[in-house]
Structure formats: C-alpha cells, structure tokens
Amino acid sequence: MQAQSEAIGTRPIQPVVEENQPARAQRSRPHVTSFRQWNSQLDDALSRLPESDACPHELFRILATNSIDNRKLIALVRERDAPVAIVALRRTPDGCWVPVTRYIVPGFVLPSQPGRLLDAVASVGVTVELGFWRLEKEPQSHGAVRALWSEPTFGMDATDDFEAYWRKTGRWDAIRKSRRKCSGFSVGINQPGAARLIVKEWGKTWGIDGAEIADRVAAAEYMEATGRLVSILLSDGDRRVGGVTCLIHENDL
C-alpha cells in the first residue's frame, strides 16, 4: 500500500494538502502531528479510539514504544480536534515504513475510527507497506492504494483425522520415522523464557532485523501472559533442538 506521497527514510511526516485548494477544503483534511516518543497526548487520543480484542490498547502502546533505536515514528491523525487514528510505524533496513503490528498481531493494523484506517495511513505523507493479516474482509478500495494482493491460507480442525490426512499425502512413513528419532525428546509448553528464546533463534536463523525481533518478543511475551500464545519447546536432554510459537486468534491456533 502506498500513501498519497512517497518518501523513504527520515523525511518528516507531514499532512498531505494539495496546492491551490480552497481554505475550507484544506481545513477538512485530517491534521497530522508526528512524535518520536510516546506522551500523554497520545494516551488521551488512544483512550478515545475503539479498542480491538485482537490488539488491546496496552499491547499497541508496548509496540509503539518498544524501540531499540531511532527507527520508529508515531503520527496522531485528528479531524476537528477528535482523534481519527494513531499510526505507529517502524522503518525497515531497506527504508520502508511498516506498521509496528505488521505480521506480529493478527487481525489488526492500527487503532482507528471505523472505516478510517486507510484515510489515516494516506494522510501521513509517506509510503507505507500494510499487511492485512487474518482480517475478516479485504480492505475497502482507496485512492492511495497502488497495489493490493492476497494469498490463501489453509487450516485443519483440531478434531480432524491428522493420520488419515498424512497417509493421503504419502508422507506418513516419513512422519513415523521422524517420530521414532524424536521419541526421547521432551516437549515443554509455555516454559518461562521459551517464547523469547524461540523468537530470537528464529530471527537469527532467517536474518531478521533486530528492531522487528524486539517487537516480536515484546508481543509474544504479552500475548503469552494473556493466554493468546502457546510456545512449544523441543529438547533433547539439556539441549534445546527446536521450538515454535503459536498465536491464538478467534479460536484458531
């Protein structure tokens, strides 16, 4: 998703106001104020915006303020002195701006008034890459959107016959061999520090940027504490050999 004007890097966020527009039309555009740190003004605005079950205000505040360097930017979007949205962005190593929740919190992008999410993002004046992850509907059409694509996802009911499924795929023998090899391993569920360890090791394996890893760790620990994340750690004696974090979203794992 691209906003109405493109910028990469440290260009200050400014409200988008076209030249030669009547003063009345300009005043009707959202007013954007950017911040490098969280403050009481943002707290007040957040309290006046709808709270999502997918991302409580506390979690959003954690992600917006969880910074290991100077690569985050927070924009308060207002209209007639009422908050429209809070846009919290993280800059990636390749210079793109992405929401701090992107592919970290399912079913949520940023706190906004109903139907105003894209208006708010478009008003900040930079190019933003959005991820509408596990949302019930695709985003509405918007003049600021330059490209939109979707990918299907698949799942199985917990009561399904998994053995029958793997037999059908022809992978059942390989799974049985793997089970025998791992028969002496132990499985730990939600062990202290496991979520942090798993996320950090995943980041090392795939070369994920440290700022994103810090946000993922913060979100994982919050969601685990609130019963919305399950960490599974596989150990061979004292040696940890694998792990995964599973998010719980609308009764799906």
Does 165 map to a domain?
A: no
Cα separation, 110 vs 123, in Å, equals 14
Q: Is residue 8 part of a domain?
A: yes
> Is residue 12 domain-shared with residue 85, that is, in the same domain?
yes
pLDDT tens for residues 168-222? 999 999 999 999 998 999 999 999 999 999 999 999 999 999 999 999 999 999 9
Same domain assignment for residues 20 and 136? yes
In a domain, 227, yes or no: yes
Say if residue 118 is in the same domain as residue 201: no
Q: How far is CA 72 from CA 54, 67, 69, 211, in A?
A: 22, 7, 8, 9
pLDDT reported for residue 37: 86
Q: Which of 101, 136, 153 is the last residue before a domain boundary?
A: 153
193 vs 201: CA distance, rounded Å:
12
Residues 27 and 102 in one domain: yes
Domain-embedded: residue 124 = yes
Q: Is the pLDDT of residue 21 over 50?
A: no
Q: Which helix (H) or strand (E) holds 206?
A: helix 194-206
| Containing structural domain, residue 240 | 184-247
Higher-confidence residue of 68 and 78: namely 78
Are residues 191 and 122 part of one domain? no
* pLDDT tens string 99-149: 999 999 999 999 999 999 999 999 998 889 998 888 777 777 888 888 888
Q: What band does 87 get if pLDDT is binned at 50, 70 and 90? A: very high
CATH number at residue 131: 3.40.630
What is the pTM (predicted TM-score) of this model? 0.82
34 — phi, psi (to 5°)? -105, 150
Do 94 and 49 share a domain, yes or no? yes
